[in-house]
Amino acid sequence: MFELKKKTSVVNTIDMPTPTKHFINRYYQRILKISIPNKAISHIKKEIINDMLIKMTQHEKNALCFLRYSNKAEIPFSRSHRMIVKNNYLVTIF
């Protein structure tokens, strides 16, 4: 008999670029569509990265890993949005 394994948490298998405060604001505004909670910024960054890893396809993750150190790159996110990555920092999302 087969068992379905439940996905409880995402393991950070790739090194993610560091999200800037502007990126965090825009992610909450445009993707999550809620206001930013009053938590420590490091906790918010971990939540965003986990949420991003869940929503991104494998091709988007590969593009992010490949282009994260570039001078400036526009990477697709969740099939309908775009992220701007610059020198290992997530700058904005639209």
| pTM of the predicted model as reported, rounded to 2 decimal places | 0.81
Is residue 5 in a domain? Answer: no
Is residue 79 in a domain? Answer: yes
> Whose structure tokens read 């610059």?
86
Is residue 26 in a domain? Answer: yes
CA distance linking residue 51 with residue 5, whole number of Å: 19
Is residue 37 in a domain? Answer: yes
Is residue 29 in a domain? Answer: yes
CA distances from residue 38 to 12, 27, 41, 55, 93 in whole angstroms, order as listed: 24, 15, 9, 24, 21
Is residue 7 in a domain? Answer: no
Which domain range does residue 23 map to? Answer: 18-93
**17-74 pLDDT per residue, tens:** 999 999 999 999 999 999 988 888 889 999 999 999 999 999 999 999 999 999 999 9
